[in-house]
Amino acid sequence: MIQADLHIHTVYSADSVIQPKTLVDKLVAHSFIKIAAVTDHDSVRGCKATIELASAYSDILIIPGVEISTLQGDMVILGTEELPPRPWTPEVVVDYANSIDAVSIVAHPYREYGMGDLTRNYKVDAIEILNGGSTATANNLAKELAKSMGLPGTAGSDAHQISELFSVCTKIDASLDVEAILKAIKKGFVSTQMTKGSIHF
Ligand SMILES: [Zn+2]
């Protein structure tokens, strides 16, 4: 069982202050979270930079990704170092993810920029049911949505500040390998966990 924070922003998102190097250092230092998905807003520059830095360490893994701002709400793609083609509609994001064996996830459905009940219209792979920046009520609604749609639920801190890193994590039944992790998420071999206070400064 491995533990991953599947939603993190670096300075390549205009609203984050987390440097790729800081993320790598915190991951190396963390006692049990060794995997992080870098999902900047509409950019893959952050995940590329972080992967480069992380390649010096054999016990940590960066999952490349992006958080796409669609008109209907935010969507995370895990397993891509490229942006989907435009226009960025939920259908295009889903089709793009399918075409490259990536994972499409509806981010924080019941928060600002969330897709809410519209999620039901799209064939996404998973729903973010535990977001570090969402209220317990919003996370519970997301959990119910995933359950009613029969979809796997993921967890991500949605960190924009260093202190927000690793506040939640996804437990995944997979090896330390991006392809294996993506497959396990799609199959639902995942559970979510709150881990507040597990990062040390
Ligand atoms: Zn985000």
Question: What own/partner pairs with CB < 8 Å and gap ≥ 24 does 97-101 have?
Answer: 97/125, 101/179, 101/182
Q: What spacing in Å lies between the alpha carbon of 9 and ligand 1's midpoint?
A: 6
Antiparallel, parallel or unpaired: β 190-194 and 103-106: unpaired
Tally of CA atoms within 13 A in the half-sphere of 90 that contains its CB:
20
Task: Determine how many CB atoms are found less than 10 A away from the CB of residue 196.
Answer: 11
Q: CB atoms < 10 A from the CB of 131, how many?
A: 26
Q: What DSSP character marks residue 139? A: H
CB count in 10 Å sphere of residue 56: 9
The whole-angstrom distance between residue 155's C-alpha and the CA centroid of its chain comes to 7
> What would you measure as the largest C-alpha separation in the chain, in angstroms?
43
Give, as one character, the DSSP assignment of residue 89.
-
pLDDT of residue 196: 75
Q: What CA–CA distance (Å, rounded) separates 201 from 187?
A: 35
The Å distance, Cα 179 to ligand 1 centre, comes to 22
Run means of pLDDT, 10 residues per run, the chain, 201 residues: 97 98 97 97 98 98 98 98 98 98 98 97 98 97 98 98 97 97 98 82 54
How much distance in Å is there from the Cα of 178 to the middle of ligand 1?
A: 20
Distance 31 CA to ligand 1 centre (A): 24
The sign one gets for the Cα dihedral 23, 24, 30, 31 is: positive
C-alpha 54 – ligand 1 centre gap (Å): 21
- From the CA of 104, how far away is ligand 1's center (Å)? 14
The residue written with tokens 């090896």 in the block is 175
Instruction: Mention every residue, 6+ apart, whose C-beta is less than 8 A from residue 56.
Output: none
Task: Give CA separation, 135 vs 5, 14, 109, 138, 170, in Å.
Answer: 18, 23, 12, 5, 18
CA of 13 relative to ligand 1 center, distance in Å:
9
Query: How remote is the CA of residue 124 from the centroid of ligand 1, in Å?
Result: 17
Cα 58 to middle of ligand 1, angstroms: 27
Please give the distance, rounded to the nearest whole angstrom, from the Cα atom of residue 87 to the centre of ligand 1: 20
CA of 49 to the centre of ligand 1 (A): 18
Q: State which residues have CB under 5 angstroms from ligand 1, the bound ion.
A: 67, 158
